[in-house]
Chain A
Amino acid sequence: MLADGLPLDVLIGAWVATGLTLFIYTFLYRDNPLFKLGEHLYVGISVGYSIVITVYAVGVKLLWIPMVEKGQWQLLIPALLGLMISARFFPRIAWLARISFAFVVGFGAGTIIPRLISSNVLSQLEDTISPLVTMTASGLTYTMDFLDPKSDINNFITLIGVVSVLFYFFFSVEHRGVGQAIARTGIMFLMIAFGAAFGYTVMSRMSLLIGRFDDLIMFSGAEYGRPTFVLLALTVVVLAYWVYREKQAFRSTVEEKS
């Protein structure tokens, strides 16, 4: 029984969302027609959507309006560079596209490399350069608080970690003897960091899964017409029929061969 208050678009949305979620989840069993349906719909919609967004956000908003309404005709230069990429469709002038590619790669690398030096190299270095002892009013002390990221012991651990990991990434030095010990220490630090990142990311993925289940549970309500139960049953039936057909086709193939 459908509630009178729910608008039709909400109802359709609930049914489509539930169906596509279940179709995509069937991939957990194996590749099947329902997954293909979900996949192709997903790809098609996303491509269509991104074309509309690009045409409006770039073509109209960033190019047409500033040029025609504000007279910013210098935008013809990037427009021309963009058009030159399309020259690839015409073999005789396809070489023009390379100018645009060179611009994209050169400009991209040129702008990002100073930023990377600043944020990945110098910031890292700056944060690692910390005193290994602390001078207080009562004299020289050594703080051993592991929970304080700025304690002396943690500064020392950070220093060992950065030095050993940096050494691991030396490619023209053979990792033997002391070098091997330092490189192995670096690997240990890396693995600890990756373990922490793994746990953190898995937890965030779990929240995504919970989000989907939350929606499926919500759409199992009578006010939506119980799409979760109906479409789940339909999915199971279609999958069972598809497996049955596959087995039949396989048997007939084997029989034909024998």
Chain B
Amino acid sequence: MCKRIVSFVFTVVVMFLSPLASVVVQAQLQPPQDFRVMDTPNDGGRSLTLGWRASTFDGPSLQYRVLIAMAVEGPYQEVAAFSNNQHFQKDTKSPWWAHLFEQNNHRFDLKSGGQLMLSDGTPYWVKLVIDNGMDSSETQPLSATSFPNFFNWAQANNLLLLILFTVAVLFSILRARKNPHGFLRRIEGLDAVEEAIGRATEMGKPILYLTGSAAMDNPSTIAATVVLSEVAKKVSAYEAGLIVPHRDPIVLAICQEITKEAYTQTGHPDAYKTEMNFYITDDQFSYTAAVQGIMLRERPAAIFMLGYYYAESLLLAETGHEAGAIQIAGTDADHQLPFFFIACDYTLMGEELYAASAYLSREPVMVGTLRAQDMGKAVLLGALILGVAISTIGEIFQTETLMYVAQVFYDFK
């Protein structure tokens, strides 16, 4: 009987005290451990990064709250709140050489935007609160100052590849100087350049050369202006006419210099006229309408459309076809290539445009660069096949260890 009474009293006491026990446990809610605040590395500034060890309390029912202030004593303003099973280092897309914390640690980036305005060079005080709805615990406030970084270490692989490629280019140029007649695969469109200029000379009609719609910072515009130099040399040698209408005043000025230089090099400086290159407008479709008019009025025997094009590609190519000209197009604008294919006699696809100047000039520097590009492509091809093999092995054996190698060829912003 005595035992039963004791047992009953014990049960009642336990039942009575269990909520209190829970409260006691909750009161022991530990603040986040190993809490750190720092400037976000590898960025343009106005951002702070918080890191802390994943708590044993972690789970969707618990919440982290981030508070920020201009001074250690406050007032603190809540700027973010999220459940405890979110925001880990492993969720951040960064390479292994730029990891700040261990993969399973929490990481949260406080970025300027919306209601939160962070200024570079201003120290901020940040603290982290863990909250289970009934109780909370917070870290000591820590100070950090954001600033922009000159170097993005996450993209160091880009620099490494750039250095390797530069070495390959220099090596290839040296080799091309020793052996300038190395093999280059035949490209039909470039073989037709001479034919097109010859045809224009025979017919006594001019050649229309378009450098595209992009500005001078576009690689395809640069390629188009370099090819213009080679075309102008041949045109001056054949004493044919040349018409080069432009959309961009800078491209116009550069092409004038290039054309003049080409005519001088071939010994025909008197045949050069500044008016060969002229500006129409920078508006897309009014430029197109004007060039269409030129095509039908001047009836050029050959039309070169090299560079970057937008929606005007088909309008130009179709009108050139109507004018009965032999047309050679070349662009790296993949959405416009189909239109050139259907309306032009020859089309240079993407990198063939960049290769064109090397083909036409056979200058060691350009041929060497072209060979170096091939070497670069071979490296990428190897990396691609190796990466897929590593990825497949990693999937089969469920390991990410091998992916550290593949990450060298990844793109990290």
**Interface of A with B (CB < 8 Å)?**
24, 27, 30-31, 35-36, 38-39, 42-43, 45-47, 49-50, 85, 88, 97-98, 101, 104-105, 107-109, 111-114, 116-119, 121-123, 125-126, 128-135, 140, 159, 162-163, 166-167, 169-175, 190, 193-195, 197-198, 200-201, 205
Contact = CB atoms under 8 A, between A and B. Distances in A.
Contact of B339 (A38, A42, A172, A198): A198
A166 B158 contact: no
Contacts of A125: 380, 383-384, 387, 409-411
Contacts of A132: 388, 391-392
A197 B395 contact: no
Contacts of A194: 334, 337-338, 341
Q: In terms of DSSP, what is the predominant structure of the interface of chain A?
A: helix
Contacts of B391: 129-132
A133 B184 contact: no
B205 to A, nearest CB: 16
A128 B162 CA distance: 21
A252 B398 CA distance: 88
Contacts of B16: none
B174 interface: no
B371 A129 contact: no
Interface stretch (B32-40, B47-55, B120-128, B282-290): B282-290
Contacts of A201: 311, 335, 338-339
A113 to B, nearest CB: 8
A109 B381 CA distance: 25
Given A117-B158, A194-B338, A129 B384 contact: yes
Contacts of B392: 131-133
10 contacts: A46-B282, A46-B287, A101-B250, A108-B215, A129-B406, A131-B391, A132-B388, A169-B350, A169-B377, A197-B335
Interface in B253-306: 253-254, 256-257, 280-283, 285-287, 289-290, 292-293, 296-297
A167 B297 CA distance: 43
Interface residues of B, number: 74
B185 A174 contact: yes
B235 interface: no
* Closest 4 pairs between A and B when the two form their complex, measured CB to CB: A108-B217, A46-B283, A122-B411, A131-B395
Contact of B377 (A129, A134, A166): A166
A30 B293 CA distance: 10
Given A85-B250, A190-B349, A172 B289 contact: no
Contacts of A121: 380
Contacts of A46: 281-283, 286-287
Contact of B286 (A42, A97, A169): A42
A232 to B, nearest CB: 20
B218 A108 contact: yes
A174 B183 contact: yes
B293 A105 contact: no
B286 A129 contact: no
A97 B337 contact: no
Contacts of A112: 217-219
Contact of B338 (A36, A167, A169, A197): A197
B244 interface: no
Interface string B152-174: 00010110011000000000000
Nearest to B403: A129
A173 B410 contact: no
Contacts of B314: 205
A174 B184 CA distance: 8
B194 interface: no
B409 A129 contact: yes
B59 interface: no
A162 B311 contact: no
A114 to B, nearest CB: 6
Contacts of B311: 201, 205
Interface in B181-239: 182-185, 187, 215-219, 222
Nearest to A94: B257
B161 to A, nearest CB: 7
A140 B158 contact: no
A118 B281 contact: no
Contact of B158 (A42, A101, A104, A118): A118
B385 interface: yes
A113 B165 CA distance: 12
B373 to A, nearest CB: 8
Given A97-B253, A126-B410, A135-B395, A170 B281 contact: no
B314 to A, nearest CB: 8
B217 A109 contact: yes
Contacts of A30: 296
A173 B185 contact: yes
Contacts of A126: 409-411
Contacts of A35: 293
Given A159-B388, A163-B381, A201-B311, 17 more contacts: A50-B282, A105-B254, A113-B219, A122-B410, A125-B380, A131-B388, A131-B392, A133-B395, A159-B384, A163-B385, A166-B381, A172-B183, A172-B374, A175-B185, A194-B341, A197-B334, A201-B335
